[in-house]
């Protein structure tokens, strides 16, 4: 909490107060010397706001006005996309400070401030009895709730809250490439195990792992999210928000991917 308050103060000092339009154009019906109104002369009224670190609109406004930021990603509502990935890619130190605030705020929400935060879900026995739905996700994956312990922050301060009785050990497991292994199983009859070999023995450092191979096969740059294409292909997802151009690109890249695995 102390860290959150410190970052909030830094952001408020950095961005301060700013003016925004207060409603649409206004045409006074009579003169008002106190307010500076002149009868019949249309004006735009403004109001002064104090910067709110938790407001994405405020962050977008300040970055645009102060640094000339031109956003290239937008939400479905047409607003600039303001998240950790977007701000983290900007060169402004102020944007990095916003990212820091997002991370701290998210961590506090998971640990103590959220309705189903981890500390609020601890029972009298000192344990958290989280819930799972074995096939709750649209992909058939398991979902977690009350609280979602699968998304526990990796920060050591958070992980250290989880302990075990004396004489026991806490073990964590992260399965690797489950969907790709299933795909390799079905492709084996067609490619004689070639895809299986890449999934099991591919080396990211050498560029022989499946993610790198997929990027190369469809002409993607390393920084692009080919894993999204893999998930879309494996789970037959087609976002409703895609326009005609996006669907054409997706079809082209999917065909390239399919040719690359010879399936």
Q: Which domain CATH number covers 253?
A: 1.10.150.20
Please state, in angstroms and as integers, the Cα–Cα distance from residue 263 to each residue in 98, 193, 228, 258, following that order.
45, 11, 19, 6
Tokens of 32: 């008002």
- Our count of domains for the chain comes to 3
- 31-40, 88-97, 205-214 — which is least confidently predicted? 205-214
Tokens of 123: 């029972």
> Would you say residue 213 lies in a domain?
yes
Q: How confident is the model at residue 237 (pLDDT cuts 50, 70, 90)?
A: low
Per-residue pLDDT at 226: 47
Shared domain check, 245 and 229: yes
More confident residue, 259 or 166: 166
Per-residue pLDDT at 252: 65
Query: What global pTM score does this model have?
Result: 0.62
Shared domain check, 103 and 88: yes
Range of the domain at 87: 2-16+51-112
- The candidate with the shortest Cα–Cα distance to 159, out of 168, 172, 175, is 172
Per-residue pLDDT at 205: 82
């Amino acid at each position: 909490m102390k860290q959150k308050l410190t970052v909030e103060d830094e952001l408020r000092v950095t961005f301060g107060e700013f003016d925004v339009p207060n409603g649409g154009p206004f045409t006074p019906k009579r003169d008002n010397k106190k307010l500076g109104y002149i009868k019949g002369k249309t004006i735009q009224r403004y109001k002064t706001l104090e910067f709110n670190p938790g407001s994405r609109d405020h962050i977008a406004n300040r970055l645009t006005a102060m640094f000339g930021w031109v956003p290239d990603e937008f939400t479905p509502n047409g607003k600039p996309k303001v998240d950790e990935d977007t701000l983290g890619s900007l060169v402004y130190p102020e944007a990095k400070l916003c990212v820091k605030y997002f991370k701290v705020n998210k961590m506090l929400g998971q640990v103590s401030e959220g309705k189903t935060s981890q500390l609020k879900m601890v029972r009298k026995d000192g344990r958290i009895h989280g819930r799972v739905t074995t096939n709750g996700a649209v992909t058939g994956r398991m979902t977690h709730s009350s609280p979602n312990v699968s998304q526990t922050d990796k920060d050591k301060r958070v992980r250290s809250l989880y302990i075990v009785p004396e004489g026991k050990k806490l073990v964590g497991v992260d399965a690797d490439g489950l969907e790709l292994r299933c795909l390799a199983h079905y492709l084996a009859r067609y490619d004689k195990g070639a895809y299986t070999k890449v999934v099991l023995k591919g080396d990211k450092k050498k560029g022989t792992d499946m993610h790198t191979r997929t990027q190369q096969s469809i002409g993607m740059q390393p920084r692009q999210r080919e894993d999204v294409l893999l998930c879309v292909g494996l789970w037959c997802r087609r976002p409703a928000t895609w326009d005609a151009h996006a669907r054409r690109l997706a079809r082209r890249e999917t065909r390239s991917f399919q040719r690359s695995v010879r399936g």
